[in-house]
């Protein structure tokens, strides 16, 4: 399962501001979360973006809605040719 962590401006230390993947087996979480998309937060704590929602398109690419940049990111693997 891909999860968009929107982030919270009023927490210290900052948390979220990334997309993670949680592996599942037999309908239950089966491993630790893995960071998939990061870099939405500057060292000074300014948000470059905030992931809101995630989905997979018909080609299997990850779509990430960003409500700071007002864009939808399409993320594929380096090996993907789509």
- Mind listing the pLDDT tens digit for each residue in 10-39? 888 888 999 999 999 999 999 999 999 999
Average pLDDT, the chain: 90
Q: What total of structural domains would you count in the chain?
A: 1
- Average of per-residue pLDDT across 70-74: 92
Look up the pTM and report it.
0.84
Residue 26 lies in a domain: yes
Residue 80 placed within a domain: no
Distances (CA, A) of 62 to 8, 11, 31, 47, 58: 23, 27, 20, 21, 10
Under the banding of pLDDT at 50, 70 and 90, the label for residue 54 is very high
Residue 82 resides in a domain: no
In a domain, 81, yes or no: no
Instruction: Give me the domain span that covers residue 44.
Output: 2-75
């Amino acid at each position: 399962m891909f999860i968009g962590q929107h982030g919270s401006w009023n927490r210290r230390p900052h948390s979220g501001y990334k997309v993670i993947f949680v592996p599942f087996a037999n309908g239950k979480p089966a491993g630790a979360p893995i960071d998939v998309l990061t870099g939405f937060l500057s060292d000074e704590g300014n948000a470059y973006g905030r992931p809101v929602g995630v989905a997979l398109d018909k080609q299997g690419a990850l779509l990430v809605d960003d409500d700071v940049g007002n864009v939808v990111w399409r993320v594929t693997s380096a090996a993907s040719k789509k």
